[in-house]
Structure 1
């Protein structure tokens, strides 16, 4: 699930997943972090989910995927669409 907060000069995207689905550490990787695992690792939140927030430029398109333990790649079902097999979002 994605949470969006539009600011004057950027959009803050919070990537949210259930606490243990999938199990183990999960990172969001995409064109905004040069597809580098571990740069944006989801952390536990008090509500029982885990999340990470990334500030992105407004009026831009981005591709991303999640990477979980065991080299398990997966997409977000709540995104704006898919492109080349990746999740796609517009800010």
Structure 2
């Protein structure tokens, strides 16, 4: 799992690649990423695509100069944090933590 950040020189955009390794998603059929960038709205969630090696990946364009909280949702039921997030913060209203990407 890794967050890959690709800052574009032509636009004020950073393409962030969100990914989960195969061992984190064993027997999972659907992986989405929810966060500040999509209002934590499951209907607006970004779907990750399964790769040949069994991992899942998606690219999201985000505005640099901000921090975004996010988590992965597996099969619409189980939350998973990014193992290599830039930091973690307490999730509002629960005992869980959210992953954070800093741009």
Q: What TM-score do the two structures reach when normalised by structure 2?
A: 0.78
Q: What is the SS of the residue equivalent to 2:64? A: coil
Query: 1:45 Cα shift?
Result: 3.1
Q: What is the SS of the residue equivalent to 2:65? A: coil
Matches within 5 A, 1:1-91: 1-8=2-9, 9-19=12-22, 21-22=24-25, 23-37=28-42, 39-46=45-52, 48-69=54-75, 71-84=77-90, 85-91=97-103
Structure number with the higher strand fraction is: 1
Gaps in structure 1 of 5+ consecutive residues: none
Q: In the comparison of the two structures, how many residue pairs are matched?
A: 91
User: Take 2:83 and 2:23, find their aligned partners in 1: how far apart are those partners?
Assistant: 17
User: Take 1:75 and 1:68, find their aligned partners in 2: how far apart are those partners?
Assistant: 11
Structure number with the higher helix fraction is: 2
Gaps in structure 2 of 5+ consecutive residues: 91-96
Q: What TM-score do the two structures reach when normalised by structure 1?
A: 0.87
